[in-house]
Amino acid sequence: MARIPWLVHGFSTRSGGFSRPYGGRALNLGFTKHDSRTAVESNRAAFLRSLGAVDGKRTWPLVTLRQIHSDIIHCVTVPPRSPLSGDGLITRSPGLLLAVLTADCLPVILVDTKQRAVGVFHAGWKGTVRRIMEKGVGEMRRWFGTRPQDLKAAIGPGIHGCCYEVGPEVRDEFESQFAYAASLFRETKESDAVREKYPLLFLTARAPGHSELPKKIFLDLVEANRRQLIEAGVSQNKITASPLCTSCRTDLLFSHRAEKGMTGRMMGAVGVR
């Protein structure tokens, strides 16, 4: 995507801003209860300038959403007068920066290299199971005549399968929607100090007071969205994904789960020059 001359896009980290509540000088781009509006507005202006989303000294209008973990996608041509609710934005109007805010969920960017159209999507497990990326491709086709083979996709930093523990009800929902759902999950057993110290004891009998350990279930959200894009017709070799896990890399990224809610927000953003 970096070679597309008319494209403005990027994924932020937590570094290099004006926010103090999250340690150091953090680049928090969300209006959270812990941070000041002044700091967030300064952070946003700095991020837009770093992307090149400027006309002279004026930064482009920034279009965001009240994100609701849905499959709702809006096509925008001008900055909306009131906040939009949903989890996807698409446009081919120059000079608008579309953005989603994340702190574990995936930010996903779509770019139609032929029609000069773009989209950005907030994909948590709920949006993913509702097929938000498949619907995003469909909405770009409906509004702009996009062909899936002309799309490039970039999946930004989010929580990975190493850390994204979910309940069995999440797996059940995916299995009801996707034939390949089993490949998106892995199971591990809870660790047990006694079991680890005396493994032979558990080969033949269950130690008193030690019942069968519950299983942990982990979801690979990145692979889930990659597979969904492929199913929607996007070429596999045109999909890139960040290797960074938000939960593993709180030195560089915000993670709502790892930081127990006391965290900022990153941004995935895209626009057309």
Query: For 16-37, how does the pLDDT look when each residue is reduced to its tens digit (9 = 90+)?
Result: 999 999 988 999 999 999 999 9
| Predicted pLDDT at 206 | 56
Q: How confident is the model at residue 211 (pLDDT cuts 50, 70, 90)?
A: low
Radius of gyration of the chain (CA): 21
**Structural domain harbouring 68:** 7-159+238-272
pLDDT of residue 91: 99
Same domain? For 146 and 70 the reply is yes
* Edge-to-edge order in the sheet of strand 7-11: 7-11, 266-272, 97-102, 62-63
22 and 87 inside one domain: yes
pLDDT at 212: 62
Same domain? For 153 and 183 the reply is no
Domain count, the chain: 2
Query: What is the DSSP secondary structure assignment for residue 253, as one 8-state letter?
Result: S
The answer to whether the predicted template modeling score (pTM) of the entire model surpasses 0.85 is yes
What is the average pLDDT across 97-113? 99
Q: Say how far apart CA 198 and CA 194 lie, in whole Å.
A: 6
Same domain? 212 vs 124: no
Question: What is the residue-averaged pLDDT of the chain?
Answer: 94
In terms of C-beta density within 10 A (0-12 exposed, 13-18 middle, 19 or more buried), how is residue 36 classed? Answer: middle
Please report the pLDDT score of residue 152 as a whole number: 99
Q: Let me know if residue 231 belongs to a domain.
A: no
Judged by average pLDDT, the poorest of 39-43, 170-174, 186-190 is: 186-190
Same domain assignment for residues 244 and 211: no
242 and 200 in a common domain:
no
DSSP 3-state of 231: helix
